[in-house]
Amino acid sequence: MPLVQAHQTLGCLLLLGDEPQGEEFDPTDRQYAELLAAWFARVLHDRNQRDTLLAQAYTDGLTGLLNRRAAQLRLDEALQSMRRGGQSFSLALCDLDHFKLVNDEYGHAAGDAVLRQMASTLRQGVPRGGWVARWGGEEFLIMLPGLDTQAASAAMDVLRQRVAQRPFLVSERSLHITLSIGIGGLQGPQDEIVRVLTEADDSLYEAKRQGRNRIITMR
């Protein structure tokens, strides 16, 4: 018996009898089954809607990456895990160099296309166990579990070079985009996420000041 809600088939309810001769269900049994199927369909539909809304609340609509809110929740979870004996981690704050020029010269649709392509490149290049989020505007945050700032810097330099070498296709044009990256690292169980983010942001500012397309770590 199909489970249908809002003109969408969500599943199937299979009814099995215990009569050895395989007698058909009587009308009362069938009516009960139809009510049960309708209830299951409504529950599944509501659950799917809830899951969809939850995903939308924690996903950046343009890039499909985690949004800032989701990233902050994950960082809090990672910190609590570290305090219970889990892995330490570093953070990389990445900013597209001269991105305003892309928007000004080619338009915001072109800028959006660059951001989507950048998101795909970063997602593919994140080390195992890590994740990437759109932190805001043209900034991306990458979480690097199990790496101190020096190891994180080395890992991110591979990704920085990959970005610098790939073309970004926009309106039949090939653009070359570079990243400035700042690294911040957790210093111990008593450390706080806000301090690590500040360290990464200060490092990013220094990377910009020194000429862009580079990685800076303060320690």
Tokens read off for 21: 């001769």
215 class by beta-carbon count within 10 Å (0-12 exposed, 13-18 middle, 19+ buried)? buried
CA 84 to mean position of chain CA atoms: 24
Model confidence pLDDT, tens digit, residues 15-57: 666 665 555 667 777 776 777 777 777 777 667 666 555 565 7
Q: Look at the block and give the residue holding tokens 């020096």.
A: 150
Q: What is the dihedral of CA 163, 134, 139, 98, to 10 degrees?
A: 60
Query: Given 77, 138, 172, 192, which residue is catalytic?
Result: 138
Q: CB–CB of 165/58 below 8 Å?
A: no
Model confidence pLDDT, tens digit, residues 112-161: 999 999 999 999 999 999 999 999 999 999 999 999 999 999 999 999 99
* Residue 141: closest CA among 203, 81, 209, 200: 200
Tell me what the mean pLDDT of segment 2-23 comes to. 70
* Residue 33: closest CA among 53, 16, 11: 16
Report the percentage of the chain scoring pLDDT > 90.
Answer: 69
Q: In the chain, where are the structural domains located? A: 2-57, 68-217
**pTM of this structure:** 0.78
Percent of residues in the chain assigned helix, strand, coil, to nearest 5: 50, 20, 30
Q: Does domain 68-217 have CATH number 3.30.70.270?
A: yes
Model confidence pLDDT, tens digit, residues 204-214: 999 999 999 99
138 included as an active-site residue: yes
